[in-house]
Amino acid sequence: MTDLSLPGLPGALPDKRQVAASFSRAAASYDSVAELQRAVGTALLEQLPGALEPQRWLDLGSGTGYFSRALNSCFPQAAGVAVDIAEGMLEHAREQGGAHHYVVGDAERLPLREASVELIFTSLAVQWCGDFRAVLSEARRVLQPGGVLAFASLCVGTLDELRESWQAVDGLVHVNRFRRLEDYQRLCGASELQVLSLQARPHVLYYPDVRSLTHELKALGAHNLNPGRPAGLTGRARMQGLLQAYERFRQPQGLPATYQVVYGVLQKPPVEGD
């Protein structure tokens, strides 16, 4: 997860095999800590155009399949495909059902045919993709004319309290990097998909202490994977520094962790004359 408006930023991309392995390892713990992910995906479902009646949908970066099951309930006549880069996530999802097919694949190179789905739903997955332009171009390729891409992702401003606290301790990259909202706007605007809506909204979660937050990120599989991250265990002194630095953000509800969530709904133009 990095600011990757420029495709191919050398050395700054998280390794996809690491992303896949990290999420596969997290499959069993993910659902117990996915409060934000539930809230964001539910908000994204609410933004789907009312008239949409897909016959085939794709849940991209489907994780444990919570939203595949939600899509199956919304569109019981339709056939669903769940695609994820992490095999462990797909195995977990398959046991619980929702989609008709479970396919290992990368959002930047979708394992689907042209014009094969009417809806692509992707919640909190594409922030892991270095090349968002490729994600949009693949979405355009596999969508039917008139089909809809609904995505939720994270942008700059996310986990800033944690980032700033680490900055005060050692100045190293401890927190995943995110694209700017302006980059999402620019790339969506240039995508040959029609932008129906695109906006960012903050979600703030509160924790009793820093360890609760960092344990949760690990249980989600969403801890820092960026190149430049510090190797090995965090020493006691640096951890103590982090706890102290984060305390200056404390509020009556606890320690805040802010997520800046970008919601986008885009449509592939219908064929002329339709």
Ligand X SMILES: C[S@@+](CC[C@H](N)C(=O)[O-])C[C@H]1O[C@@H](n2cnc3c(N)ncnc32)[C@H](O)[C@@H]1O
Contact residues for ligand X, defined by CB under 6 A: 19-20, 23, 34, 37, 41, 61-63, 66-67, 84-86, 89, 106-108, 123-125, 128-129, 222
* 3-class DSSP assignment, residue 57: strand
Q: Closest approach of Cβ 264 to ligand X, in Å?
A: 15
Judged by beta carbon, residue 131 or residue 161, the one nearer ligand X is 131
Q: Closest approach of Cβ 167 to ligand X, in Å?
A: 24
The tokens describing 220, both together, are: 């989600």
Judged by beta carbon, residue 225 or residue 245, the one nearer ligand X is 225
Judged by beta carbon, residue 169 or residue 216, the one nearer ligand X is 216
What is the number of the residue whose Cβ is closest to ligand X? 63
The candidate with the shortest Cα–Cα distance to 165, out of 250, 236, 235, is: 250
Judged by beta carbon, residue 102 or residue 128, the one nearer ligand X is 128
Judged by beta carbon, residue 67 or residue 75, the one nearer ligand X is 67
Strands (DSSP E) found in the chain: 56-60, 79-84, 101-104, 117-123, 143-154, 194-207, 255-267
Q: Closest approach of Cβ 47 to ligand X, in Å?
A: 14
Compute the distance between CA of residue 29 and CA of residue 147 in angstroms, rounded to an integer. 34
Q: Residue 84: beta bridge partners?
A: 104
The candidate with the shortest Cα–Cα distance to 67, out of 40, 49, 85, 86, is: 40
Q: Closest approach of Cβ 232 to ligand X, in Å?
A: 24
